[in-house]
A and B are shown apart, each in its own frame.
Chain A
């Protein structure tokens, strides 16, 4: 059985829960008291992940940290369709990896701004926000062109990939860090598309989009 060391309000944990839900893979949660308990800095957790960060995933003796690494593993292991992380397509894998890196840069800016506003972290808030806007501009233009040439996902082709899942959470949660999305129409349409994926699940702060007749 897969175990996810998890915190409800963490976007990085949420992206793992989201992919597990989209793949229909069952797992058990081990809730961590991230705030205010700081359980991710406790000795037993540091033994599991010396970086003291969530999420961590355990599967059949394998212990993995870093949400992006976990998405790569889960898609490679459990996605029989091969769409989320297409092993046989090197160029596509390269593109997907570049967006996984981008996702971590979003964590360092948009997520940091949210930790500052909602969890009282001592970050340079203006730097976090301007850094996020710089990334959002790049993302918006990329998605606009992707809408024109393909289906509007981050990597080329007809299907979403783990790149979309990795980037999604902290873009959707950006307003909790004071980062408005008014100036990014292509990003907003992409957020709608992710919400309409079959099997989509929410987290606190993210509304679902009703599917309608």
Chain B
């Protein structure tokens, strides 16, 4: 594995928003080609696990959450919230669960309304670019069939309108600028007079062909303004995805 890939496996990546993890749902995603099962158990604990049952390798995402355990769909082995340790084997009710059977799990952070993980040690000095405090509104995120570097080029040109100004027509005093924080993160600020709106945009390298975009708005607008802002960014993300994928197609042999 090359040095750059090593560094990528150590760094924190956003996987989904907190709203993507309702009770009893097992969220599925890949990070750098590693398949993951993500779920929130009792006590608010978020689990980021390798998406394979250690028994016979069935995907854990087709299983079910039963209280503080995830139960594999195949033979019903159960794995514990927080540790991933096997707690029960249905065929052997009286016997202790084999201790060697433990789902591999990854570190988890919740910050800026998003769930973050990293795949390898040692932990890098830099945490996620957002902290746990502050009011953030997760945007509709989506998958782009393109590589992160490609999507980054498009995101660097991200232009949006301040959420408080969306109902009015665009005027000459509006502006928006986007800066790249690091290889996978962007901060974008839109202004109109005294109004400002700020978003963070993060890339998740999913697999060789896919990059997810996760966005958060650094404010919680009320009611209709919230709806308008969410629609606005979803529309811009959709256009950005189409533009990226058109670029990928045009270069295909």
Establish whether residues B28 and A141, one from each chain, have CB atoms under 8 Å apart when the complex forms: no
Contact count band on B: 20 to 34
For window 165-213 of A, CB contacts with B under 8 Å fall at 181-183, 185, 188-189, 192, 207, 209-210, 212-213
B252 to chain A, nearest CB (A): 13
Q: Please tell me if A144 contacts chain B, counting CB pairs below 8 Å.
A: yes
A and B contact pairs by CB, cutoff 8 A, 24 listed: A140-B142, A141-B142, A141-B234, A141-B238, A145-B231, A148-B230, A149-B227, A182-B206, A183-B206, A185-B20, A185-B27, A185-B28, A188-B25, A188-B27, A189-B20, A189-B25, A192-B25, A207-B73, A209-B24, A209-B64, A212-B24, A212-B64, A213-B66, A213-B67
List chain A residues, Cβ under 8 A from B30.
182
Tell me the count of chain A residues lying within 8 A, CB to CB, of chain B.
20
Q: Please tell me if A137 contacts chain B, counting CB pairs below 8 Å.
A: yes
Further contacts, 14 of them, CB under 8 A, given A185-B16, A185-B29, A212-B65:
A140-B142, A141-B142, A141-B238, A145-B234, A147-B19, A182-B28, A183-B143, A185-B27, A188-B27, A189-B20, A189-B25, A207-B62, A209-B24, A212-B64
A185–B30 alpha-carbon span in the complex (Å): 12
List chain A residues, Cβ under 8 A from B62.
207
Q: 1/0 per position for A37-63, CB-CB distance to B under 8 A? A: 000000000000000000000000000
A145–B227 alpha-carbon span in the complex (Å): 9
Known: A141-B142, A189-B25, A207-B73. A183 touches B64 (CB 8 A): no
A137–B239 alpha-carbon span in the complex (Å): 13
A91–B62 alpha-carbon span in the complex (Å): 37
Establish whether residues B67 and A212, one from each chain, have CB atoms under 8 Å apart when the complex forms: yes
The total of Cβ contacts below 8 Å across the A-B interface reads 51
Q: 1/0 per position for B212-238, CB-CB distance to A under 8 A? A: 100000000000000100110010001
A189–B16 alpha-carbon span in the complex (Å): 13
Interface residues of A, dominant DSSP: helix
B34 to chain A, nearest CB (A): 13
A145–B139 alpha-carbon span in the complex (Å): 10
A125–B238 alpha-carbon span in the complex (Å): 25
Q: 1/0 per position for B102-140, CB-CB distance to A under 8 A? A: 000000000000000000000000000000000000001
A189–B210 alpha-carbon span in the complex (Å): 21
B246 to chain A, nearest CB (A): 14
Contact of A189 (CB < 8 Å), options: B22, B66, B67, B143: B22
Nearest 4 A/B pairs, CB to CB: A183-B143, A212-B66, A210-B64, A144-B140
A212–B29 alpha-carbon span in the complex (Å): 24
List chain B residues, Cβ under 8 A from A145.
140, 230-231, 234
List chain B residues, Cβ under 8 A from A213.
66-67
List chain A residues, Cβ under 8 A from B238.
141
